[in-house]
Amino acid sequence: MNTRRDFIQKVGISALGLYAFQGLGATVLSPLKHAAANGPVLRVALMGLGGYATRVAESMQQSKRAKITGLISGTPEKLKTWGEKYGVPEKSRYNYENFDALKNNPDIDAVYVITPNALHHDQVIRSARAGKHVICEKPMALNAKEGREMVDACKKTGKQLLVGYRMHFEPLTLEVHRMRTDGELGTIKFFQGLSGFRIGDPKQWRVNKALAGGGALMDIGIYALNGCRYMVGEEPAWVTAQETKTDPVKFREGVDETITFQLGFPSGVIASCLSSYNMNHLDRFFLNGEKGFAELQPASSYGPIKGRTHKGPLDIATDRPQQAVQMDEMAAIILDGKKPVIPVDGEEGLRDLVIIDAIYKAVKTGGKVQLA
């Protein structure tokens, strides 16, 4: 069995780079003691100890219902350092070859997969077969076929599959969602989603087709795509898309630099979205209705999210990192059966993958692709 490091070397990646994309800022949170739990605590093994896992781990020190009790990495030094920092004993530290042994560890309830996109499919399925619930970073897989296999495998083992849609628990996002649901914006007519930043190191895994499965759309673009679905409140019926590439050296065949895509919804709503690895300051959602509007800018950064509506500024204070809130909410979903306002399950991740497949098809064919 190959390790994650072996896989990366085979596809020519010299380094994974930071897992947190550059456009979201780089504030590092100081580890804090866990707040008092207000219910059963979800015991989590983090898989893939890169830049974004660092943010998740440090944020989890402010979680009330989630705790790090396991680590999975292909780098022994990281396992030792992280184990000592977060109090994870050696018996709960695994590599990519032996983590199936999780099935014998009663101190771990769930695995949080935070690795390059191409690795999600097998790692999620193996984790579920080891008897653990799974949280997987987005996009859930490389394509809808893989996503369906992951959903089916988790259902077969009776384990939950959740996707790391942290914005689904973000207060301003939820307020805009509530306003639309309660009819305060009137009949929705239009949505615009802009998601992008200028990517740096051309050797990082995000611009390697074998590891990322694409380019900007598979990373930053999923925010606009997923956002249009929960903001509009419908599933799209069709999609069109166009790709622009100005740097074919950095963005090789199969790695998109910039894609604009349009979605049509059954009610007649139109969404216009942009995903780019070559433009900064693209982090905006705009929802327009007959009675009013709502805007979030920034809409998907690590915070603070800012917003306004036709009624004025959205002023909702947040006192914890998004990832801390996400993990507490996911603990409630897994342990208490809580139903989130905006879904974060595997079926939600699969719907995004179906649309991503259609966007790439539309780019290739130049036509309108119908969605089932």
Positions annotated as catalytic residues are 138, 223
Cβ proximity of 369 and 239 under 8 Å: yes
Across the strands, what pairs with 42?
66
Burial of residue 123 (number of CB atoms within 10 Å: 0-12, 13-18, 19+): buried
346 φ/ψ angles, rounded to the nearest 5 degrees? -60, -35
- Rounded CA-CA distance 62/80 in Å is 22
Cβ proximity of 244 and 250 under 8 Å: no
Cβ proximity of 223 and 285 under 8 Å: no
Cβ proximity of 64 and 129 under 8 Å: no
* Two structure tokens written together for 25: 């800022």
What length does the chain have? 372
Cβ proximity of 216 and 198 under 8 Å: no
DSSP H or E stretch at residue 112: strand 110-113
Cβ proximity of 94 and 26 under 8 Å: no
* Two structure tokens written together for 137: 């970073």
Peptide bond into 139 cis (omega under 30): yes
Select from 213, 154, 183 the least CA-distant residue to 345.
154
